[in-house]
Amino acid sequence: MSELLKLTPTARYGDAVPDRAAVNDSGVTGASDARGGALHLSAILPAVSAAIGHPIDTAVHRDPQALQHALGLPDAASAIVVLVDGLGYWNLAMRLGHAPYLRSLMNEPANQRPIATCAPSTTVAAMATFGTGTCPGLTGMAGYTQLNPITGKLSQLIQFTDAIPPSDLQRQPTVFERLALRGVHVTSCGLPKFKDSPLTEAALRGPAYVGGVTPRDRLLAACDAAKTPGLTYLYIRDADKTGHSYGWDSDKWIGVFERIDAQLAALKRNAPHGTLIVITADHGMITTDPDQRIDIAEEPQLSRGVRVVGGEPRALMLYAEEEESAEDIAQRWRERLGGLALVRTRDEAIVQGLFGPVDDRVRPMLGDVLVTAGESVTIVDSRTQSDKATHLPSVHGSQSMLESDIPCLIDVA
């Protein structure tokens, strides 16, 4: 566990295949060129588009066929891509005894390697990265909360509270809508309430949406859609929701995990013969440690010069007061946190490729200082966050292997 909680090198964007020699015997990547590239969440939909014969390139992925080859996707007339919210590669690997179908997939060599999600490793940023095949620096979706540079207020990007309208904030075309414009049959299956949600509009717009009240309704809808050649997307949220409420290592989470495995097994049984099935996630989860919780409200050194705090407990974005130096804020945080977190100014983070290429209009949305928590540290602010939000048993957002390594499991019905 201590190994899995170590911060990983920043994942890269592009079509390069990571150097497999940089992956050690335990399967843990250990060098900067061993993360990301073709083995990245952003690569999945471009790769699948190539597999179904309609390759879509993006602003960060120019060679969809190379991505298809790197991820090991076979050609198919129809594909179902399943995103299981919160089911990181190592969360999955440590609970395989409860998941016979997923265990059978993990026995295949092609599936025995994690790929990288974006930074921060959180749903808002990852969904836009996944849907567009690009990166937070281009989508403008870089955290659960972030600055709205028009109003100067903090936006919340699940419900888009105090936010720029979804289609104006996130201007990158999605892979779904580009396929649909080509006349490809594209379908999304999820809860009815997500059909017209702001997050769907921003990150996943384009497909015909089929809502289903029960998990079985949704998976059967996906199987029915896959009868027509094209791309079908299926979203499963329960692992993330239960992890936040009870902990990803709780009995309740294990029960949910077992049901998700059964749903995925049923998906394979009911999908049309020859359908390509790709199972991935947006991020993993860690268990928080109450003894490593830091409250900014109780730390004058940390609140000094900071106008507003965005992001999440494992990946903060600090917005400086006017006339305040980002470097001065960063230095104060480094002195306080030491090795408990990686503290970077926005300029440093951009140079290191944390958000991928960054559009000029997105730049002010990012924090002046970025704080990436290590170990089991959470950094909260009880001045603005609820007691429940500051005491979640499991969270995500940072660059540990537990949070940033995700599965890309391949099967064919």
C-alpha span between 255 and 98 (Å, rounded): 9
**Least confident among 132-141, 180-189, 381-390:** 381-390
pLDDT digits (tens, 9 = 90+) for 181-239: 999 999 999 999 999 999 999 999 999 999 999 999 999 999 999 999 999 999 999 99
Cα–Cα distance list, 16 to 39, 64, 172, 354 (Å) = 8, 11, 22, 17
Q: What is the pLDDT of residue 18?
A: 84
pLDDT digits (tens, 9 = 90+) for 269-295: 999 999 999 999 999 999 999 999 999
Task: Quickly state the pLDDT bin for 162 (edges 50, 70, 90).
Answer: very high
Question: Computed from CA positions of residues 343, 347, 351, 356, in that sequence, does the dihedral angle turn out positive or negative?
Answer: positive
Cα distance between the two ends of the chain: 35
The yes-or-no verdict on residue 9 having pLDDT over 50 is yes
CA 171 to chain centre: 18
* Integer Cα distance of 380 and 299 in angstroms: 11
Q: By percentage, how much of the chain surpasses pLDDT 70? A: 97
Element (H, E) at 93: helix 89-93
What is the DSSP annotation of 102-145? HHHHHTSGGGSS-EE--SS-SHHHHHHHHHHTS-HHHHS--SSE
Residue 408 to residue 37: CA distance in whole angstroms:
14
pLDDT at 5 over 60: yes
List 341's β-bridge partners, or say none.
Answer: 373
Q: Which domains does the chain have, with CATH numbers?
A: 20-134+172-287+400-412 (3.40.720.10), 290-391 (3.30.1360.180)
Beta-strand relationship, 293-295 and 378-380: parallel
Nearest CA to 236 among 280, 202, 271?
A: 280
pLDDT at 27 > cutoff 90: no
- Cα–Cα dist 58/315, whole Å: 26
Q: In the chain, what percentage of residues exceed pLDDT 90?
A: 95
Task: Give pLDDT tens digits for 39-92.
Answer: 999 999 999 999 999 999 999 999 999 999 999 999 999 999 999 999 999 999
When pLDDT is cut at 50, 70 and 90, the band that residue 316 belongs to is: very high
Q: Supply the mean pLDDT for the chain.
A: 95
**Residue 33: per-residue pLDDT:** 46
How would residue 404 be classed by pLDDT, with cut points 50, 70 and 90?
very high
From residue 380, give the alpha-carbon distance in Å to each of 210, 287, 308, 384: 38, 15, 12, 9
Name the band, by pLDDT with cuts 50, 70 and 90, for residue 20: low
| Residue whose C-alpha is closest to residue 212's, from 231, 197, 193 | 193
